[in-house]
Amino acid sequence: MHIAELQSVTMAYGAVKALDDVSLAVDEGTALAVLGPNGAGKTTAIRLLTGLKRAQKGKARLFGKNPRSPANRLAIGVTPQEASFPHSMKTGEILDFARKHYPEPAPRDELIEAFGLEPNLNRMAVSLSGGQQRKLAVALAFCGGPRVVFLDEPTTGIDADSRQRMWRYIQKFKAGGGTIFLTTHYLDEAEAIASQIVLINEGKILKSGTVDEVRSAVQVRVIRFRAAEAPDLTAARHATSDAGHHTYLSSDADDSVRALVNCGLEFRDLEVLPASLESAVTELLKVSP
C-alpha cells in the first residue's frame, strides 16, 4: 500500500490547470521530491494529500483512505510554504502546545537540538527572523511522531549549517521508517534527501524515477575547466563562469573537448562529469511543451 497517492488527479483554478491527470505515489520509508518551477502544481499536490483540498477529478489517498478524514491525518506532519504563529506565544510554548495534541510526540530535546531552537525558546515566535521561524515550522511537522511528513519548500531562508542539520534529521527519520513528501527549489536538497523524483511543469509530469534515472534522461555532460576566458565550444552551452572557472553543458562531450583543445586557449583542471540533477532538470524543462 502506498502511504500517499494521487490517482489521475485533475485540479483547475478557473482556466488554469494546476494538475492535469497526475498520478504519483510515495511508499513507506522513502522520500519523494516533487520538483518544478513556481506554479507547476507542487503545493496543490500537498494540499490534496493532506486533505486541505478535494480533487475535482481523480482521487487522493492517505494511508489508503480519504485524507479529508481528521482521524486519518493524525499520523502526518506538515510544513506549509508559509506559516504564521500566535503573537502571544514563545517558541518553546508553541512547541509544547503542538506536542500535547499527539499521543506519542517526538522527544522535546531531540527537536530542539535537531532544529537549533535552544537560543530562541524564550523569545516570541513572531519576533524571530524568517529563517528562525522556518526552523520552528519544520520542527512542528515532526513534533507529533508522524509516519509521513509533507514539507513544502522547507529550508527557504535558512542558513547553510542549519540546512545540513535539518537534512541529517530528515535522513534519520527516513532511516527509521518515516516517509517524506518534499517540494523544493534547492536541487542539492532533493539529491540529499529523496529516493524518488517527480518533475512537474504546468500541471503535467515530465519525468519520474530515481535521481540517477532523472539525470540520465538527458544526454548531457558537464564540462568544467579554468581559463582566462570562456570560449565558444562545439555542441556546448556556456552555463556559468566564476573567477576563471567555467562550466558548460554539452550534448557531445567529445566534440566539445576537441573544440577546447583546438581553440588555442590555455586551460587547466579539465573535468567531464555526468549531468547533475540541476542540469538534468534545467534541460528537461527547456524541452517541455
Helix then strand then coil, % of the chain, to nearest 5: 35, 30, 35
Domain span at 259: 221-287
Same domain membership, residue 105 and residue 183: yes
Q: Check whether 26 has a pLDDT greater than 80.
A: yes
What pLDDT is attached to residue 25? 95
Same domain membership, residue 273 and residue 164: no
Mean pLDDT is lowest, of 67-71, 79-83, 194-198, 219-223, for 219-223
pLDDT level of residue 3 (50, 70, 90 thresholds): very high
Q: In this structure, what CATH number is given to the domain that contains residue 28?
A: 3.40.50.300
- For residue range 87-99, list pLDDT tens digits in order: 999 999 999 999 9
Give one word for 235, left, alpha or beta, with left for phi > 0 and alpha for psi -120 to 50.
Answer: left
Rounded to an integer, what distance in angstroms lies between the CA atom of residue 265 and that of residue 230? Answer: 9
Same domain membership, residue 230 and residue 113: no
Q: Check whether 213 has a pLDDT greater than 90.
A: no
Report the predicted TM-score, pTM, of the whole model to 2 decimal places.
0.81
Which of 215, 249, 269 terminates a domain? The answer is 215
- For residue range 50-99, list pLDDT tens digits in order: 999 999 999 999 999 999 998 889 899 999 998 899 999 999 999 999 99
